[in-house]
Structure 1
């Protein structure tokens, strides 16, 4: 896997949309595609994460193949390197994950019949809640479930930190959409190596094309 780090100055990110600007998360999605000019969008196989550092925007890209630096990123602010295959073989890591946690609710029609498609809603509360007689999982439950699905566990001696991020509103093909962003961080221990590596390379949760799901890791000794 190739990890790319780019720093995009604020003045570039503030360009008008017609001048290849970055007006919202969908615009970032479109601009980042320029780093993979020969890859059909249907075969998207990379993950991204964007952070405002207070000095610029830091963009991370995790991809199987090296991306091409787009013209909008200064050459001095773009760096790609191959990850050591042994990086995924540590028993424990500090982690940070910016995700779009959602839950799909069962919806019934006027006759009480369950509809084929439910309603997907964002999760914004930390603890589980009971609403209209049904339990809606909280953010902590969501993260614990995702960990179990993806071959790792949140270390009980290191509290899970949950930090809300600003809601992301975007325009796609004339339609306004939004994502609820949440950052999870803490310490994880690996229980299933294959599932864990798959989670790192394929991402966790929904809206991966919009910069969610990239698991940032730093190995530690417990």
Structure 2
């Protein structure tokens, strides 16, 4: 698995027409021209915002990205030893949704307590237990963009805290495949730091 830090300056943002979340999606996926089955080889990314004139993107992938020489990019390979820890600090931007039993459609989970409860309940399926004492949730602005004449809208929540791995295989699979919905548009990347 690879973790890539991509730094975009103002010229890069103009050149790649980075105006909305869909433009970021197109740029990230353009770095992986040989991947056709994105469900098998998931590309996850997080838009970390702007700092000192650069827009930072963090990208996780099974294949190494190939970027134009003009882009400032650093890629690391994550080895098996990274998965040996039982506890990690984590950060993730997720799109909390629940399926409406009557309509079958996904509906956003709203409110601070409900989104925290949503993460705690879903974390068990993902092979970890979120520490409720350290868990923080920050409800962010809704992510909207237009694609093919249709408007897309995603609720966005930043989660931070620590976690304990409860089942190693499902945990690693969840990290590699991403958490929740909206993964193609910057949601679901579980950013981890082992607790030693």
What TM-score comes out, normalization by structure 2 length?
0.92
Which consecutive segments of 4 or more residues in structure 1 shift more than 3 A?
A: 41-44
Question: Which residue number in structure 2 is paired with residue 134 of structure 1?
Answer: none
In the alignment, is the contact (CA less than 8 A) between 1:101 and 1:142 conserved in 2? yes
Alpha-carbon offset, residue 41 of structure 1: 5.8
Comparing both structures, which one devotes a greater share of its residues to strand? 2
In the alignment, is the contact (CA less than 8 A) between 1:165 and 1:181 conserved in 2? yes
**Whole-angstrom distance in 2 between the partners of 1:40 and 1:106:** 33
Secondary structure in structure 1 of the residue aligned to 2:28: helix
**Whole-angstrom distance in 2 between the partners of 1:41 and 1:195:** 21
Aligned length: 194
**Whole-angstrom distance in 1 between the partners of 2:83 and 2:173:** 10
Secondary structure in structure 1 of the residue aligned to 2:65: coil
Q: CA RMSD in A?
A: 1.7
Question: Which residue number in structure 2 is paired with residue 100 of structure 1?
Answer: 95
In the alignment, is the contact (CA less than 8 A) between 1:47 and 1:208 conserved in 2? yes
Unaligned runs of 5+ in 1: 108-116, 128-137
Larger radius of gyration, structure 1 or 2?
1
**Whole-angstrom distance in 1 between the partners of 2:134 and 2:32:** 38
Alpha-carbon offset, residue 142 of structure 1: 0.9
What TM-score comes out, normalization by structure 1 length?
0.81
**Whole-angstrom distance in 2 between the partners of 1:29 and 1:167:** 16
**Whole-angstrom distance in 2 between the partners of 1:42 and 1:173:** 20
| 2:130 maps to which of 154, 167, 185 | 154
